[in-house]
Amino acid sequence: MVHLPKSIQNLIDELAKLPGIGPKSAARICFYLLSQDSHESANLAQAAADLKKNLKKCSVCYNYGQTEPCEICSDEEREKETICVVEEPLDVIAIEKTGYRGLYHVLGGAISPISGISPEDLTVSELVSRVKNGGRKIKEVIFATNPTLEGEATAVYISDRLKATNVKITRLARGLPVGGDLEYADEMTLARSLEGRKEL
Amino acid sequence: MVHLPKSIQNLIDELAKLPGIGPKSAARICFYLLSQDSHESANLAQAAADLKKNLKKCSVCYNYGQTEPCEICSDEEREKETICVVEEPLDVIAIEKTGYRGLYHVLGGAISPISGISPEDLTVSELVSRVKNGGRKIKEVIFATNPTLEGEATAVYISDRLKATNVKITRLARGLPVGGDLEYADEMTLARSLEGRKEL
């Protein structure tokens, strides 16, 4: 173990806890900050300290927002007929980039018996009552959970509970990723994309 | 551009300025911190804010340290006869890991006419006087600058200026990286490793 000044070692340790940053990248970032003007690290510190200030979980969609309900839920120009169900707030950003203009519902994860995550740990009941109480305003629920075992199971479980509502329930298409290479696609993806083939 | 709450966008922007972190990793880190206890981001903020506190550049070796001279320069148990010359403080960590027990000199970069970095922008004169004034105590100067055009030129330039001192001047060996694959080695590296071949 190399002996480093305490404040350097401290920041390296904190950075190395973050996802995708190993000890080497952490050291590189730390020495980069040292080589920069003091306000670079001060700005980072301020941004990290202020992260959760004025931030709340929206009581309608459970995404992060500064207002209650959040900016998306209270946006008059969004289509109120569609709810896109995602696992995490980060997924909202991905869907937003596609130009989707409907509403969201953030589950807070996926059902996973192995990790001990049951529907009660997620905002599943909240979604069900939201759809039920929405009356005829909500016409479609799009499941955009991850294409994993847990994500699929979560979508199936919730759609079962939503069946009585007569709302249209859809799931994001599975198939070949755009720009991908056929020979590198796995069997499952290829099978799904055959199954879901469209007429030209 | 996706609209995000200000404090989230702020932290993503600050993180994305760091080396090796793109906007996607920045968002991932930011939402990771949101999902964690508040003290995670508070600790990161504190570490970033305190980074330069109690930290000085050593007036002997120009590495970062908490004392003056730094911990390495003032360590009685280190060999005072050898100075290892590196470009950046980060390089000191790499050399320390090898178990090297001599002293260091941090240049602060490499001479690069293209980037407008001349010997005066580095601690070159300081190294030359350090070796000259060191009398007979300093026996060897090891150049551990990067194996790049700039690093090589810097080593050659400084060693020229040190010639009058009669101190032994060496350079890290160039050759095949340990664990590397011969067929992937570039011509220059292979030529250097042939040139520097050793008897078995």
Whether B1 has a pLDDT exceeding 70, the answer reads: no
SS3 A130: helix
pLDDT grade, residue B182 (50/70/90)? Answer: confident
- Domain count for chain A, please give it: 2
C-beta atoms of B11 and A51 within 8 A: yes
The pLDDT tens digits of the residues spanning B15-32 come to 999 999 999 999 999 999
State the pLDDT at residue A19: 95
Give chain B positions within 8 Å (CB) of A23.
Answer: none
pLDDT-derived band of residue B122, with 50, 70 and 90 as boundaries?
A: very high
| B41/A48 Cβ within 8 A | yes
Q: Are residues B95 and B15 in the same domain?
A: no
Q: Provide the pLDDT for residue B195.
A: 84
- Contact list in B for residue A58 (CB cut-off 8 A) is none
Per the CB < 8 Å rule, is B53 touching A28?
no
Say whether both A135 and A42 belong to one domain: no
With beta carbons under 8 A apart, name residues in chain B contacting A98.
Answer: none
Check whether residue B106 and residue B157 sit in a common domain: yes
CA gap A84, A61 in Å, rounded: 10
Q: Do residues A75 and A157 share a domain?
A: yes
Do A102 and A43 sit in the same domain of this protein?
no
Per-residue pLDDT at B151: 94
User: Does residue A128 lie within any of the structural domains?
Assistant: yes
Q: What average pLDDT score do residues B122-145 get?
A: 92
B48/A48 touch (CB, cutoff 8 Å), yes or no: yes
Task: Identify the CATH number of the domain in which residue A150 sits.
Answer: 3.40.1360.10
Structure letter (DSSP) for residue A170: E
**Mutation test of the interface with chain B: which of A6, A31, A51, choosing the one with the most B Cβ atoms within 10 A?**
A51
Q: What was the pLDDT predicted at A62?
A: 97
Residues of chain A with pLDDT under 70: 1
User: What was the pLDDT predicted at A1?
Assistant: 65
Decide if B82 contacts B131 (C-beta within 8 A): no
A191 occurs within a structural domain: no
Contact A45 B49 (CB under 8 A): yes
Q: Are residues B30 and B78 in the same domain?
A: no
How far is the C-alpha of A74 from the C-alpha of A59, rounded, in Å? 12
pLDDT of B6 reads 92
Quick: pLDDT tens for A142-185: 999 999 999 999 999 999 999 988 899 999 988 888 887 888 88
**A69 and A134 assigned to the same domain:** yes
What pLDDT, on the 0 to 100 scale, is given for residue B164? 87
User: Do A103 and A150 lie in a common domain?
Assistant: yes
CB contact under 8 A, B51 and A6: no
In a domain, B78, yes or no: yes
pLDDT value, residue B187: 86
pLDDT of residue A145: 94
Whether the ipTM is more than 0.90: the answer is no
Q: Do A7 and B32 touch (CB under 8 A)?
A: no
CA dihedral for B7, B9, B14, B20, sign (positive or negative): positive
Chain A partners within 8 Å of B58 (Cβ) = none
In CATH, what number is assigned to the domain containing residue B44?
1.10.8.420
Model pLDDT, residue B33: 96
Structure letter (DSSP) for residue B175: S
Q: Do A13 and B48 touch (CB under 8 A)?
A: no
Identify whether residues B47 and B90 lie together within a single domain. no
- Within a domain: residue A183? no
- How many CB atoms within 10 Å of residue B192? 17
Q: What is the C-alpha to C-alpha distance for residues A53 and A55, in angstroms, rounded to an integer?
A: 5
- Is residue A19 assigned to a domain? yes
The tokens describing B161, both together, are: 């200026």
Quick one: pLDDT at residue B9?
95
The residue that leads in pLDDT, B176 or A70, is A70
Shortest Cα distance, chain B CAs vs residue A188, angstroms: 27
Chain B residues in contact with A29 by the CB 8 A cut-off are 18-21
**Which among B18, B93, B97 has CB closest to A29?**
B18
The residue among A85 and B3 whose pLDDT is bigger is A85
Residue A195 inside a domain? The answer is no
Q: Which domain holds residue B115?
A: 64-171
> Of all residues in chain B, what percent carry a pLDDT higher than 90?
78
| DSSP class per residue in chain A | -----HHHHHHHHHHHTSTT--HHHHHHHHHHHHHS-HHHHHHHHHHHHHTTTT-EE-TTT--EESSSS-TTTT-TTS-TTEEEEESSHHHHHHHHTTT--SEEEE-SS--BTTTTB-GGGTTHHHHHHHHHHTTTS--EEEE---SSHHHHHHHHHHHHHHGGGT-EEEEPPPSPPTT--GGGS-HHHHHHHHHT----
Express each pLDDT in B54-100 by its tens digit: 899 999 999 999 999 999 999 999 999 999 999 999 999 999 999 99
Sort out which chain B residues have CB atoms less than 8 A from A8's CB and list them: 51, 55, 64
The least confident of A112-116, B126-130, B190-194 is: B190-194
Closest C-alpha to A113, from A73, A143, A154: A154
pLDDT of residue A134: 82
**How far is it, in rounded angstroms, from Cα A146 to Cα A155?**
9
User: Are A44 and A68 in a shared domain?
Assistant: no
| Domain membership flag for residue A166 | yes
Co-location of A69 and A166 in the same domain: yes
Residue B181 covered by a domain: no
Q: B104 and B40 in one domain?
A: no
